[in-house]
Every structure is written in structure tokens, then in C-alpha cells.
Structure 1
Amino acid sequence: MSSVFDVIKLIFWNSEKVTVDRDTYDVLAYHMIDALAASALSRIEMPDDLRMEWKTSIMRQVVYNAQVNYVQNHLPITVPYVVLKGSSAAQYYPYPEYRIIGDIDIITRREDFDQAYQELLQGGFVISKELDREVGFLKNDVLAELHRFFASLNDPKQAKYMDDLIIENIGSSHMLPDDINGLVLLEHINQHLERGLGLRQIIDWMMFVDKCLPDEKWLSFQNYAKAIGLDSLAIVATRMCELYLGLPHREWCSRADEKLCKQLMDYILACGNFGNVRSENIGTGENVFYFGSTPKSMLGLLTDRGMANWKAAQKHAILRPFAWIYQTVRYIKRGLSRADATAEIKKEHKAAKQRIKMFKALGVRQSTKGLAVYKNGKYIKE
């Protein structure tokens, strides 16, 4: 993976020219960070056909970004709100237009949620999903998620603290202050780490740290991070970015366990962007052992993976309640096809135990312990 790291260093820190092959490009694209190289392509050596493909991919992603930004800039919401992640993360990049935006995450003050909901419908958006945490609205193939709450932590008190902090800082600019915005990016890593995230989310954090967290500002930010139990994650993730991605050194993360940094980077590279389809083939048994400790977390895994893999359920809502069955069959087939199932099971059981140990060291959430949700005006653990 050193060539992938070399490309990232070239993009952000103007390191020396690098040579890229197909495998390196595939990893960058798989993690949805290939467009970040747009301004540095002339300093990357590669075959002509790959260069043309790369340029085409960048143009396609930039066009989609423009479409998302247009929808975001014309949201019909008249109550105060802020945009989480997405463009709020892109502001820290040297070229924000090349940071790919997946969807538009919005949160309002609690008393304004219903009005924002109705205004989106009146503005031509259609509901694509309705969950306890957020409602998804579609328009022009762009997804906007209106959040009832954002934090996804084990402790209800910490979740309330995080969401209250966001809501208290909603102003007229649709963007949070830097410290709170950085806390959102850190919590975003926490939310997706369990089932898989990629280098894109790590780079979001790295860019925030580069612009907003020099040594003299760490203590004030640490107070926020510690209040939601994520100060260890902040320290390890930052030191990991220094070791592998070229982030300039900061004294405040110098005592991070470098073995833990390596373990975290290896895990991120194996998972890919949000733990998508390819990651399923890396740790099927590991995921089953990890999430299988409670029926609810196991059902969540099967449903998520089933929705990612079953194209028919993605198109037809009536099939979605059965996604977990589809995924169960996939896992059974994969298990039966193994040449040495016993050895693989032992290996994956060990990997699951190592993952649990890593998460404990990082202080991140574990859904097997129950997650805090906001219901009927209060935070409870489910």
C-alpha cells in the first residue's frame, strides 16, 4: 500500500513524483479518493490508457459534485439548519471541489424538524427512507438526509451532549464552528468504524487537523472529544495520519501507540469505503463472530450487507425487509464453498477478538453494547 500513501502525500504535501499502476489506482477509486489527485495528475507517472480513465472518472465525479452542490444551495428549508460532513468537510481541503460528496446531511433545531420536513416535500423532494435517526429525501438523484439526531454512541448522556452541542451552534451560515465541525468528523469515523469506513473519512479528519488543530488548540478540542469518549480515537487517528499519510507532526499525538496505529490503518484498508462489497469477502466470518453476540446487532449486519448486495431490494422497497435472509444465504454458500472451513473459522474468530480489543483501546462505540437513540424527547439506549 506504500504507493497509495505516496499518492496521498503527493496530493496534499507536494512530495516527489510517483508512479502509479492499475492496482494502486483501483485502491484509490475503491476508497473514493481518486478525484483528489486532479491537481497532481501531471506529477503522477502512469500508462496513457490509465491516465485517460482517471481523467474521465474525475470529470464524472466533479459533475456529480456540482449537481449535489446545486441541490444543496437551493434547499427549500427556511428554518435554521447546518450541513454535516460533505461540503462542511470539503472546506478544509486545498481543492474542495475534488472531495466527493455522497449526500447532503442536514440537522435543524428539534422544534424546527417538522417544518423542514414539510418544506422539503413541498420543494419537490420525495421520501426515499424514513428511519428513527433520519429521513431520506431524493431530488434529481441527490439524497438529502434530514436528521432527528446525529450522535451514535453507546452512552445516552454522551449522545445528548454531542447533539446539544451541534444544535446550540446552528446559525445562519449553515456551517458549524470549526471545533464542533471537527467533532462531527471524528464522530463520523466512530459511527462507521465498526462496519467499515475508508481513507476518505480519515482524510476528512486529517484535513481538519491540518487546518484547525495545531498544538496550541488541542487542549480546548480535547475537552469536547473527551466528553463523548473519543479523545483516544482522535490521538491515534492523527498519529496514524502522520505515520502513513504525511500529516506534519503534532506533539499532542506523539504518545499514541504506533502498533495500534498500524492495526487501525490495516483495518481501514481492508474495509474500504464504508465497508462495501469487497470488504465482505475479506472478513465474512470475522463480522459474524463480532456482531453475533446479540441478535439485534447480527440482524443489523445481515440487513446492511443484504441491502448492499441485493440489487432487487435496492430497487423495490417491498423486498427490503427480507434483505437479511438474502444475506444469510450468501454467507451459508460462502461457508460451504471453503476448502478448509475449520482453519478459516479459527482465523476469523481470532480476528474478531482482535477487532474488539482494538475498539476498546480506541474507545469507540460497539453496537453489541446497545446504542443511544433520541425518542419521545429523551435519549435512551436500545
Structure 2
Amino acid sequence: MNKEQKILLQCLNGFYNKKGCNIDCDFDADALYAEARSHNLSAITYSMLRNNAVLKNNAHAYKAFENDFYDCIVRYDKQKAVINEIDSLLNKNGIKHIFFKGSEIREYYPVPEFRVMGDIDLLIKKEDRQIVLSLLCNAGYEAKNTNGAVYDYVKNGVLIEMHTKLINGKVGSKSAEGYFSDAIDHAEFDGYAGHFEANYYCAYLITHIAHHFWFYGAGIKMILDLAVVIKRFRINTDEVIKILSEFGLDEFGKNIFTVCFKWFGTGKNYNCNTDKTEKFLLDNGVFGNINRDPSVIVRRKALEEGKKNAFAARLSLAFPPYSKMKELPYIKFMEGRPYLLPLGWIYRIIYNLKNRKEYTKSANKNLSDRETLKCAQDEINYFEEIGLI
């Protein structure tokens, strides 16, 4: 953990515990901004350091922090207006719905406006999906993707993800999809707007963190969200671990709870060695995709499937199974038609070359390197240590 990462955690701790933050050491303000920005935490950090002499002496970093701070407040107001509009629309039409992740959790923060949110997540019943599609489109929302378990809508620059499942597919080597398949039945409703039972929701949040770990990674903000929920609802961590044990993520949960306890004093210390987990969370940004080589991730997933050479990894990347293809938001013709899989592969290759050219290049660039293989194997070993695979 470098100096700026330590200061970032001090700022977050001061904000979370409402005790302020006194940073009296010298630090690299530009490096601190880069760390905070990579985790979408620059608004909170600025709120703690706006009067700090070191930050004030760096006009460039100070202005960058300040701009993010005010942008965050403006974004909050725009998103809040959309949340209120959708809530009113669905209540009026008798549609059960649950706002979750950032759109709910940020309201539990000491200052909700400072918690950055990229999109609004909302859960509805699958059987209500078409009527919701009609309601939102008639209300001026643009349907961007209407395939798979998540439909995307946009209005006034605000993205809404309308879910019919909390978890899609596997999480590491575990299958949590079945456990959370009836999520809407684990909620209490005030009219048609619901909130999940607290321990169940906490177990979901840890499962969601695991999902991000397995794909690219997770960042500090997900641990801060977890801390906020634990404090708000006085979560029984042992009960959450019992839930997680039903689908094999209990060791992972203990690791995450321990990190949460170390950083924010909330959760529980399960006496895990969290050095690797803390580094994994700190080093790669909010979604774990900063400073990471996509080739390592592709190679690691191929190794998990028993594909040991680079050629097999490339084939796996280029030709995913039907179970994955039918969920892709930009392929609408696959659902219920597995015989169209070859056509889907061609469509996906064309789409990636057109829209994700740089990622496709970087994911293939180092697949054959020995260092890529070593890093992929190291990641598998680490994931096994924390009970993810």
C-alpha cells in the first residue's frame, strides 16, 4: 500500500465515521487524485481535504478534485430525478420493483450526493418486463439494449439497468444464480416499492463483489458500500456467512468482511490474511480493469476450463458457448435458438471489431507470453486461497 492509498483510506474512514480527516504529512496531490479518481472516490476525498495545504498548493490537482466534486452533485440530482420518476410510474401502474446497489446504498451515506453512481439498477419480475418496456418508452425513455436478463434504458443522459435477476451465471466456480433466483420474494414492500431483507442483501453484495473479482476485479468503493450497509442495518456477519456457505462463498465472505473491518472498523475480523485481497482491491480501480492486462484474464479463464495453451484460450475467447451468447445485450436473435450459434459468433466478431477493437487487440496481444501464463496461474492460486474457485 503506497502513501497515497493510505491517505485515500484515511479520508474515506473519516467520511464514513463522520470524524473528519487530519492529514499532516506531505503527499503527491496528483497521485492522490489519480488513486481517488480510479475508484470513483474523488468527491469524498475532496470533501475531506478541501482545506488541506498540500492539496491547495497544487492548483492542477485541486481543480481536478473540485470539478469532480461539483460534477458528482449535478449527476446525483439528474439521477435522483429519474429514480423518482420511475418509482412514481411503476407505483402508479402496480409494478413491484426494487432499487438496489448504488441507487439505494448511496442514500445511506453520510452525504448521499458524494457517492458516485454510473447507472441506476432496478429489479422487476420477468413477467413485467414487456409492460415496463412499454411504460418507459411512452414516458420518453430510450431502450438501448433489450436482450438477456438486463434491459438498458437512457433518459437525459442517465442510464437505467432493468434487471430480472440479481445474479447471472456462475461466480468463480460457484453457482449463486439459483439461490438469488427468487430475490423479489426476499423483500418487504411499501406499496409496490421494495427493500431486501438486510442479511440476504448483504450476502448478495458480497456475491456481487465476488462476481467482479472473477471477471476483472473490484475496488475500494464496493467495500465502502458494504461498510455503509453493515452499519445501517447492524448486519449479523455470521448469519451472512451461513447464507454464503449455501453456495460456497463463505471463505470469500470472511476475507471481505475482514478487509471491511480493517479499513472501516465495521464488519468482523475473521483472522484471514488479507494482504493479497487488499492489494487486489487497491491497485486496479473501481472495477479492477485499470493497470491490468486483459490477456491475463482471458488466459486465467481458459485455464479454469482446462484449456492450457494460448490457442485454446483464443478459441474460447472467439467462440463462447450458447449459454453466454444468448445473454449478450447486442445479440437479440439467440434466445431459444441454439442452432443460430455459428451466426452469433460471426455477428459477435464483427461487433467487437467495430465497437471494441482496442480491447480485442489487447486481450489477444500477450496471450502466448510466458509471463501472461504465470500471472494467470498466480491469479488462480489466489482465487483458490480465498475460496472463489
**Does 2:84 correspond to 1:73?**
yes
Q: Within 2, Cα distance between the matches of 1:103 and 1:328? A: 25
- Call closer, same or farther: CA 1:190–1:274 in 2, change over 3 Å: same
Q: Which residue of 2 aligns with 1:11?
A: 12
Query: Are the equivalent residues in 2 in contact too, given 1:225–1:234 (CA < 8 A)?
Result: yes
Letter in 2 for 1:329: K
Q: Deviations over 1:117-137 (max 9, x none)?
A: 221122111111133120101
Q: Which residue of 2 aligns with 1:176?
A: 196
Query: Are the equivalent residues in 2 in contact too, given 1:34–1:54 (CA < 8 A)?
Result: yes
Q: Deviations over 1:322-368 (max 9, x none)?
A: 35665443455x55xxxxx99xx33332221121122223333x6xx
Q: Which residue of 1 aligns with 2:244?
A: 225
Secondary structure of the structure 1 residue equivalent to 2:144: strand
- Call closer, same or farther: CA 1:300–1:94 in 2, change over 3 Å: farther
Q: Within 2, Cα distance between the matches of 1:17 and 1:118? A: 52
> Could you list the runs of 4 or more consecutive aligned residues of structure 1 that deviate by over 6 angstroms after TM superposition?
none
Q: Which residue of 1 aligns with 2:33?
A: 25
**Does 2:381 correspond to 1:357?**
yes
- Call closer, same or farther: CA 1:118–1:180 in 2, change over 3 Å: farther
- Call closer, same or farther: CA 1:70–1:182 in 2, change over 3 Å: same
Letter in 2 for 1:240: V
Q: Which residue of 2 aligns with 1:312?
A: none
**Does 2:45 correspond to 1:37?**
yes
Q: Within 1, Cα distance between the matches of 2:298 and 2:226? A: 29
- Call closer, same or farther: CA 1:325–1:291 in 2, change over 3 Å: farther
**Does 2:295 correspond to 1:275?**
no
Q: Which residue of 2 aligns with 1:137?
A: 153
Query: Deviation at 1:36?
Result: 1.4
- Call closer, same or farther: CA 1:5–1:328 in 2, change over 3 Å: same
- Call closer, same or farther: CA 1:326–1:284 in 2, change over 3 Å: closer
Q: Within 1, Cα distance between the matches of 2:174 and 2:381? A: 23
> Which structure is higher in RCO with an 8 Å CA cutoff and minimum separation 6?
1
Secondary structure of the structure 1 residue equivalent to 2:182: helix
- Call closer, same or farther: CA 1:5–1:213 in 2, change over 3 Å: farther
Query: Are the equivalent residues in 2 in contact too, given 1:31–1:273 (CA < 8 A)?
Result: yes
Letter in 1 for 2:38: Y
Query: Deviation at 1:74?
Result: 0.4
- Call closer, same or farther: CA 1:289–1:58 in 2, change over 3 Å: same
Q: Which residue of 1 aligns with 2:265?
A: 248
**Does 2:61 correspond to 1:61?**
no
Secondary structure of the structure 2 residue equivalent to 1:74: helix
Alignment match of 1:212 (pick from 228, 233, 250) = 233
Alignment match of 1:94 (pick from 110, 118, 143) = 110
Q: Within 1, Cα distance between the matches of 2:7 and 2:58? A: 20
Q: Which residue of 2 aligns with 1:266?
A: 279
- Call closer, same or farther: CA 1:211–1:181 in 2, change over 3 Å: same
Q: Within 2, Cα distance between the matches of 1:300 and 1:241? A: 38
Question: Between Structure 1 and Structure 2, which shows a larger proportion of helix residues?
Answer: 1
Secondary structure of the structure 1 residue equivalent to 2:160: strand
Give the stretch that moved more between structures: 42-51 or 61-70.
42-51
Letter in 1 for 2:301: F
Question: How do 1:108-127 residues align onto structure 2 when only pairs under 5 Å count?
Answer: 108-127=124-143
- Percent identity of paired positions between Structure 1 and Structure 2: 18
Query: Are the equivalent residues in 2 in contact too, given 1:106–1:147 (CA < 8 A)?
Result: yes
**Does 2:247 correspond to 1:197?**
no
**Does 2:330 correspond to 1:320?**
no
Q: Which runs of 5+ in 2 are unaligned?
A: 306-312, 330-347
Q: Which residue of 1 aligns with 2:299?
A: 289
- Call closer, same or farther: CA 1:174–1:112 in 2, change over 3 Å: same
- TM-score, L = length of structure 2: 0.75
Secondary structure of the structure 1 residue equivalent to 2:152: strand
RMSD of Structure 2 on Structure 1 (CA): 3.1
Query: Are the equivalent residues in 2 in contact too, given 1:109–1:170 (CA < 8 A)?
Result: no
Query: Are the equivalent residues in 2 in contact too, given 1:92–1:207 (CA < 8 A)?
Result: yes
Q: Within 2, Cα distance between the matches of 1:156 and 1:349? A: 23
Q: Within 2, Cα distance between the matches of 1:182 and 1:290? A: 28
Query: Deviation at 1:116?
Result: 1.8
Q: Deviations over 1:161-188 (max 9, x none)?
A: 2131344315234432322332232122
Q: Deviations over 1:259-315 (max 9, x none)?
A: xx1112222233222234x43xx32442232133456862499x9xxx9xxxxxxxx
Query: Are the equivalent residues in 2 in contact too, given 1:17–1:43 (CA < 8 A)?
Result: no
Letter in 1 for 2:203: L
Secondary structure of the structure 2 residue equivalent to 1:163: coil
Letter in 2 for 1:10: C
- Call closer, same or farther: CA 1:324–1:291 in 2, change over 3 Å: farther
Q: Within 2, Cα distance between the matches of 1:33 and 1:57? A: 9
**Does 2:165 correspond to 1:149?**
yes
Q: Within 2, Cα distance between the matches of 1:201 and 1:43? A: 27
